[in-house]
Structure 1
Amino acid sequence: MNFLSLKVRGIRSKGKAGWVKGLKSSHGVDFLAVQESKIMDPSVWLLPKCWGNSTFLFDCVNSDGIAGGLICWWDPSCFRQTGVIKSHHVLVISGDMVHSGFHVNIANVHAPNDAAGRRNFWNELLFYRRSLFGLRIFLGDFNLVRSIDERVNSDFLAQNALSFNSFIADADLFEYNMCGHKYTYMSSNGEKLSKLDRSLVCNDFMSNWPSAELTTLSRHLSDHCPLLLSIKNSDYGHIPFRFYDSWLQLPGFVDFVNSIANNFVFDGPADIALAADGQFVGQPLSGINDIKITHLIG
């Protein structure tokens, strides 16, 4: 599955629905989480404008006037919902990942702006972490940085960072290395930069997909970068075979290779033969001039 998170700052604003739809389509997104939608009761016409014509399901937390608002879309062929939890600052969608069978809880997060509100919010998230079974993903705008190097031209409050890091440790959450942009938020004048948006996962999630990729995409119609978490496995074919020059000095090595090549049998195009599991005939591999298989494969 591919997960996309974006603080959109008003989904009805000119061009934003089309932008979100373009991100979803171009990156093969299966689960889409939007923060600060600034709408109540998303209309039937708006939701497909953000997702496209393919089948989707959704759930949402309505905005408080023109503030806040959370929406999640997902592809039911990839994710089968079993439950939902809603509060003002988080929308938790629970369900099963169809292709892997794992049960996962996906929290669409928009943390409060004030420090006291965030501390209460961390406790709320810890409660969900302890009460829900299965894998966990927390993605969205956390409104805090973890260290001083995650801010440029804005105040760093060590106490706030300590509170945030304590929550992450208590919740047993981890971060993938982020590719793309270092900062996810930029002020309107371009002077202030911060890493406010994140995708945090539990240890079991990271153990199952250690090579997952987290990428910050270019901000376009928002002051926040979209975050793409991709856990789709890519198959690049056979692992390349390494050949060492020193092997050529092994007694009998060249004769051994020649004997294998001369007795290789394959019925098909020559280029396909290079990747095929050939049928070897002739002398057993372990009996040619005392060459051991380990000498060949390192």
Structure 2
Amino acid sequence: MAYFLAIDLKSIVSSTIFMLILKVGTSFKQRKEWNQDEKNVGNMEKGKREREWEIDFQNRIRSRLGVGEDEKVNWVKRLKTHHKATFVGLQETQISDFTNINVKGCWDSNDYDYDRVDSNGRSGGIISIWDTKVFQKLEVLKNRHFLVVIGKCKNIAENLNMVNVYGPQSLSDKKQLWKELIEIKNEKPGMWVMFRDFNVVRNPGERCNSKFCPSSALAFNRFIQEADLKEFNMGGENILTAHPRELSDHSPITLLTAVTDFGPIPFKLFNSWLLSEDFDQVVIDAWNRFVGYGTPDMYLAAKLRFLKDSVKKWRKDVSQKEGKELTEAKNMVRDLEKLAESRPLTAGEVNN
């Protein structure tokens, strides 16, 4: 999976834009359930019962596709907030009626704007959302497969062109898409960021569990060269990171273009720590173990620092234990998702 950026990186590196790219289609488990449900439809008796079931089935599909459901909206907001993203690109929203999506629910403040490309049934759908305090929209260009938002970014003199792409399946349509993107790029000045699913790979090593098409790869590589784009690799000065997919069948991607260091993290004591069984004993032991000297005020300050360090060490150990338990739980969910791709889960596996 690759994302591309124009050659001139110097000015964007000094900015504070942080991108989050998500493909929010269905999960494997949802698709498995739907396939099973569709199979059941063919076995049901005709008449009122079947019609009622079909209506209920369609309602379930509409509530679970793309970002139309509250759970995925909250997931997008949680990722945006945690990674402090200033520009969010959503792909495969699978929503043709945007009254069915709560875009505001994806953001953690009122300082946002967005644009979108509607889906064609269950296929496609694109949304770009940005922080208006960082990025100011000047112009929008779009068709079924791309959404170009042109604007001014804080601390960047020239225009910044943000391109959200969801590519077609056929090679002829892909070539037409690439031709249009090159034409737009040649007409519009500034820096270009393309975050995408082009539905094509550059070499056989990027293809997994599907057939590699040499002609598509050749045409795609030619497009990259003609558009004068460079690939962002994972890590490096501009940090591109893939995160756990959770509610999607694709991993969310974040691109950090500026590393900000605000110094040491302030010490905070949370009320939930007081509910831990061993917290009181940690405080008592640290208070009694301290040995110091100096004037009373210096002695007290040193003793409090010793107590703080003891609590921080205790909390670090607890966090490592909790992190291990969380990782084990996520691994179990991942294994169950993989298992659900090959067969229905048993009641014991679902309730485990």
TM-score, shorter chain, exceeding 0.5: yes
1:62 CA drift (Å):
1.5
- CA deviations 1:206-230 (Å, max 9, x no partner) are xxxx821111111111111111111
Deviates more, 1:112-121 or 1:161-170: 112-121
1:158 CA drift (Å):
1.3
From 91, 103, 106, the counterpart of 1:50: 106
1:235 CA drift (Å):
4.6
Q: How far, CA to CA, are the matches of 2:184 and 2:101 in structure 1? A: 32
- CA deviations 1:224-263 (Å, max 9, x no partner) are 11111111233588xxxxxxxxxxxxxxxxxxxxxxxxxx
From 11, 14, 20, the counterpart of 1:4: 20
Q: Which amino acid aligns with 1:76?
A: T
Equivalent position of 1:39 in the other structure? 95
Q: How far, CA to CA, are the matches of 1:129 and 1:122 in structure 2? A: 10
Q: Which amino acid aligns with 2:86?
A: D
Q: Secondary structure at the match of 2:99?
A: coil
- Go from structure 1 to structure 2 and tell me whether the alpha carbon gap of 1:161 and 1:44 turns closer, same or farther (over 3 Å shift): closer
Q: How far, CA to CA, are the matches of 1:226 and 1:71 in structure 2? A: 14
1:119 CA drift (Å):
1.3
- CA deviations 1:150-192 (Å, max 9, x no partner) are 122321111111111110000000012124xxxxxxxxxxxxx
Q: How far, CA to CA, are the matches of 1:53 and 1:91 in structure 2? A: 23
Q: Secondary structure at the match of 1:152?
A: coil
Q: How far, CA to CA, are the matches of 1:106 and 1:160 in structure 2? A: 24
> 1:6–1:140: 8 Å Cα contact kept in structure 2?
no
2:260 aligned with 1:234, yes or no? yes
Q: Secondary structure at the match of 1:229?
A: strand
> 1:216–1:228: 8 Å Cα contact kept in structure 2?
yes
> 1:7–1:140: 8 Å Cα contact kept in structure 2?
no
Equivalent position of 2:10 in the other structure? none
Q: How far, CA to CA, are the matches of 1:85 and 1:62 in structure 2? A: 14
Q: How far, CA to CA, are the matches of 2:210 and 2:119 in structure 1? A: 28
Alignment of 1:130-145 (within 5 A): 130-145=186-201
2:112 aligned with 1:86, yes or no? no
Q: Secondary structure at the match of 1:15?
A: helix
Q: How far, CA to CA, are the matches of 1:109 and 1:219 in structure 2? A: 19
Alignment of 1:88-237 (within 5 A): 88-179=144-235, 211-235=237-261
Q: Secondary structure at the match of 2:22?
A: strand
Stretches of structure 2 lacking an aligned partner (at least 5 in a row): 1-16, 26-65, 264-352
Alignment of 1:267-278 (within 5 A): none
Q: How far, CA to CA, are the matches of 1:159 and 1:75 in structure 2? A: 39
Q: How far, CA to CA, are the matches of 2:136 and 2:109 in structure 1? A: 19
Q: Which amino acid aligns with 1:8?
A: V
Stretches of structure 1 lacking an aligned partner (at least 5 in a row): 180-209, 238-298
- Go from structure 1 to structure 2 and tell me whether the alpha carbon gap of 1:45 and 1:13 turns closer, same or farther (over 3 Å shift): closer
Q: Which amino acid aligns with 1:92?
A: V
Q: How far, CA to CA, are the matches of 1:14 and 1:50 in structure 2? A: 10
- Go from structure 1 to structure 2 and tell me whether the alpha carbon gap of 1:164 and 1:45 turns closer, same or farther (over 3 Å shift): closer
Q: How far, CA to CA, are the matches of 1:165 and 1:236 in structure 2? A: 41
| Segments of 4+ moved more than 6 angstroms | none
- Go from structure 1 to structure 2 and tell me whether the alpha carbon gap of 1:13 and 1:45 turns closer, same or farther (over 3 Å shift): closer
Deviates more, 1:19-28 or 1:61-70: 61-70
1:53 CA drift (Å):
3.1
Q: How far, CA to CA, are the matches of 2:207 and 2:122 in structure 1? A: 27
Q: Secondary structure at the match of 2:98?
A: coil
RMSD over aligned Cα atoms: 1.9
Q: Which amino acid aligns with 2:121?
A: G
- Go from structure 1 to structure 2 and tell me whether the alpha carbon gap of 1:87 and 1:142 turns closer, same or farther (over 3 Å shift): same
Q: Which amino acid aligns with 1:99?
A: N
- Go from structure 1 to structure 2 and tell me whether the alpha carbon gap of 1:114 and 1:138 turns closer, same or farther (over 3 Å shift): same
- Go from structure 1 to structure 2 and tell me whether the alpha carbon gap of 1:13 and 1:235 turns closer, same or farther (over 3 Å shift): closer
> 2:166–2:199: 8 Å Cα contact kept in structure 1?
yes
Equivalent position of 1:295 in the other structure? none
> 1:6–1:226: 8 Å Cα contact kept in structure 2?
yes
Q: How far, CA to CA, are the matches of 2:138 and 2:209 in structure 1? A: 44
Alignment identity in percent? 37
